[in-house]
């Protein structure tokens, strides 16, 4: 038995477990009955069309992961050795790994405090300096953290000014909007993830979306081993095996039917945490920018220990001891050993927002299937650590 389990006999509360609707089964059954047990088929075609329609974009390509979708996007933009790609620093490593797959170099851009996402100020500075060095990036990857859209007006206008294509990493923000427009539909290309912990899941999977149908055609080609149109197997380009299984696309179709319910459930969970904890000294919840709607994939907050007298670390420790899965906010990529030596642009001189969010931030269990009893267990643990009478 693990040490963790010996400290409590309470059942585990996961950060963001899968939440099936039951509607997935009819699509899986269809795949079995028609024998489309392959990385293509009617569920794949329909899932692509349904996601494109949901977002209001021209086309979508279903792939085996969100990481694969980012890789295809970079490959389509011709990113190669010697190039640089700008990327949000406060994110999961998958946002930047494909830059390395292409042999290119990431440059990390800090967050700003209003959305916790890419700072337009830092981006502008990085673009200005790279233009002076005659080394403008091949692409910018902007992440919508925990469901919250970045400042898209500012970021798209900077990218337009410099003629740099924008890739929107919307892996965490399916179902969110910015000024009424779907998250993931702002860049030249957008990507989504259907990993087991995301707001909807296919167990593993992803989607590349764009209004540019030519690119999406090419993405399908690259994701299918770049097979030239010939009866014999002919290849003139390097390709990948990145397509999504027809069975898993069926899971995705069933999940997509309940996406809006899942968003509302996660927002409700955020509201409960907010009501119970937001007024406590030193606690600040992740903001929601005006005119945006976050899917609140994960509820996140910061603790200022100079006010609360208690650090984020001790809150996390107590949650863990009570068999509750909580996590610090992502460790910024510019602090990761993997990316040592890469350039990074702070929000302002001597003001690194992502670093302080990492030191002070906590993500709470936020699964759409969470019960009130589970919510109270989490809330009471946080309050107990803060020595607030519950
Ligand atoms: C989950 C995630 C990805 C990667 O998606 P996979 O489907 O796991 O490959 C990329 N970026 C962000 C921000 C993510 O949270």
User: Helices 24-34 and 246-256 meet at what angle, rounded to 10?
Assistant: 150
What b/e string do you get for 230-241 counting C-beta neighbours within 10 Å, with b at 16 or more?
Answer: eeeeeeeeebbe
pLDDT of residue 10: 87
Contacts of 334 (CB under 8 A, 6+ apart): 89, 108, 342, 344, 354
Pocket of ligand 1 (CB under 6 A): 65-67, 91-92, 94-95, 143, 169, 171-172, 193, 195, 206
Confidence of residue 9 (pLDDT cuts 50, 70, 90): confident
Cα separation, 373 vs 370, whole angstroms: 8
pLDDT band at 339; cut points 50, 70, 90: very high
pLDDT of residue 7: 55
pTM (predicted TM-score): 0.96
* Domain assignments of the chain as residue spans, ordered by start: 24-256, 259-385
Contacts of 220 (CB under 8 A, 6+ apart): 61, 243
CA atoms within 13 A on the CB side of 169: 31
Strand 206-210 to strand 139-143: parallel, antiparallel, or no bridges (unpaired)?
unpaired
- Determine the pLDDT at residue 84: 98
CA of 274 from ligand 1 middle (Å) equals: 26
| Count of helices and strands (H, E) across the chain | 14, 15
Phi-psi region of 125 (alpha: psi -120 to 50; beta: other; left: phi over 0): alpha
Compute φ and ψ for 362, nearest 5 degrees.
-135, 135
Locate 76 and state its tokens: 């389509």
Q: Stretch 183-189: mean pLDDT, rounded?
A: 98
Look at 50 and 8; give whichever has higher pLDDT: 50
**In contact, 286 and 300? CB cutoff 8 Å:** yes
How crowded is the C-beta side of 100, counted as CA atoms within 13 Å? 11
- Centre of ligand 1 to C-alpha 94, Å, is 5
Q: Can you give the pLDDT at residue 387?
A: 86
- Residue 207's beta-bridge partner residues? 62, 192
> What DSSP string describes 57-82?
-SEEEEES-HHHHHHHHHHHTT--TT
The encoded tokens of residue 326 equal: 């909580």
Cβ-in-10-Å burial (0-12, 13-18, 19+) of 190 comes to buried
For residue 194, give the ligand 1 atom closest to its CA.
7
Q: In sequence order, what are the beta bridge partners of 63?
A: 206, 243
Q: What is the number of alpha carbons within 13 Å of residue 16 lying toward its C-beta?
A: 24
Q: Looking at the predicted structure, is the pLDDT value of residue 1 above 60?
A: no
User: Given this model, what pLDDT does residue 141 score?
Assistant: 99
Ligand 1 binding pocket mutation candidate from 94, 143, 144 (most atoms within 8 A of CB): 94
Ligand 1 centroid to Cα of residue 193, in Å, is: 5
| Mean pLDDT score, 177-188 | 98
User: Which fold would CATH assign to domain 24-256?
Assistant: 3.40.640
- CATH code, residues 259-385: 3.90.1150.10
Which ranges in 58-191 belong to alpha helices (H)? 66-76, 97-101, 120-132, 152-162
Residue with CA at minimum distance from ligand 1 atom 11: 95
Counting ligand 1 atoms within 8 A of each CB, the residue from 65, 88, 195 with the most, and so the one to mutate, is 195
pLDDT at 89 over 60: yes
Residue 355 CA, ligand 1 centroid: distance in Å: 20
The CA-to-CA distance between both ends of the chain, in Å, stands at 31
Nearest ligand 1 atom to the CA of 172 is 15
- Of the candidates 232, 142, 225, 255, the residue with the CA atom closest to the CA atom of residue 188: 142
Which atom of ligand 1 is nearest the CA belonging to 143? 13
The alpha carbon of 92 and the centre of ligand 1 are apart by a number of angstroms equal to: 7
pLDDT band at 256 (very low <50, low <70, confident <90, very high): very high
Rounded Cα distance between 232 and 180, Å, is: 48
DSSP-assigned states of every residue in 325-368: --EES---GGGSGGGTT--EE-SBTTB-HHHHHHHHEEEE---T
CA 64–ligand 1 middle distance (angstroms): 11
- Report the relative pairing of strands 299-303 and 361-364 from DSSP bridges: antiparallel
Q: What is the pLDDT of residues 190-238, one digit of tens each?
A: 999 999 999 999 999 999 999 999 999 999 999 999 999 888 999 999 9
């Amino acid at each position: 038995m693990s040490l963790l389990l010996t400290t409590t006999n309470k059942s585990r509360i996961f950060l963001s477990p899968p939440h099936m609707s039951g509607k997935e089964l009819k699509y899986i059954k269809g795949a079995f009955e028609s024998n489309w047990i392959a990385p293509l088929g009617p569920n794949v075609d329909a899932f692509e069309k349904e996601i494109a329609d949901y977002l209001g974009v021209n086309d979508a390509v279903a792939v085996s992961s969100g990481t694969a979708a980012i890789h295809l996007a970079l490959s389509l933009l011709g990113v190669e050795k010697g190039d640089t790609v700008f990327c949000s620093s406060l994110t999961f490593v998958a946002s930047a790994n494909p830059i390395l797959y292409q042999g290119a170099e990431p440059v990390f851009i800090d967050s700003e405090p209003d959305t916790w996402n890419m700072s337009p100020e830092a981006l502008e500075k990085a673009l200005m300096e790279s233009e002076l060095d005659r080394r403008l990036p091949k692409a910018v990857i902007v992440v919508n953290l925990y469901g919250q859209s970045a400042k898209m007006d500012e970021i798209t206008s900077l990218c337009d000014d410099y003629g740099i294509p924008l890739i929107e990493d919307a892996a965490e923000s399916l179902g969110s909007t910015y000024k009424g427009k779907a998250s993931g539909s702002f860049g030249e290309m957008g990507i989504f993830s259907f990993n087991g912990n995301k707001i909807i899941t296919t167990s593993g999977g992803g989607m590349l979306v764009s209004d540019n149908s030519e690119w999406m055609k090419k993405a399908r080609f690259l994701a299918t081993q770049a097979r030239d149109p010939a009866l014999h197997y002919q290849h003139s380009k390097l390709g990948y095996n990145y397509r999504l299984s027809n069975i898993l696309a069926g899971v995705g179709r069933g999940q997509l039917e309940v996406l809006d319910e899942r968003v509302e459930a996660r927002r409700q969970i955020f509201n409960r945490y907010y009501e119970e904890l937001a007024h406590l000294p030193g606690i600040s919840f992740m903001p929601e920018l005006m005119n945006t709607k976050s899917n609140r994939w994960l509820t996140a907050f910061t603790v200022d220990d100079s006010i609360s007298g208690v650090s984020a670390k001790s809150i996390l420790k107590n949650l863990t001891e009570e068999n509750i899965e909580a996590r610090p906010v992502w460790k910024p990529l510019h602090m990761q050993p993997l990316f040592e030596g890469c350039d990074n642009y702070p929000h302002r001189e001597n003001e690194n927002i992502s670093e302080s969010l990492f030191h002070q931030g906590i993500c709470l269990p936020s699964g759409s299937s969470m019960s009130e009893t589970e919510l109270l267990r989490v809330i009471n643990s946080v309050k107990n650590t803060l020595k607030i009478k519950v």
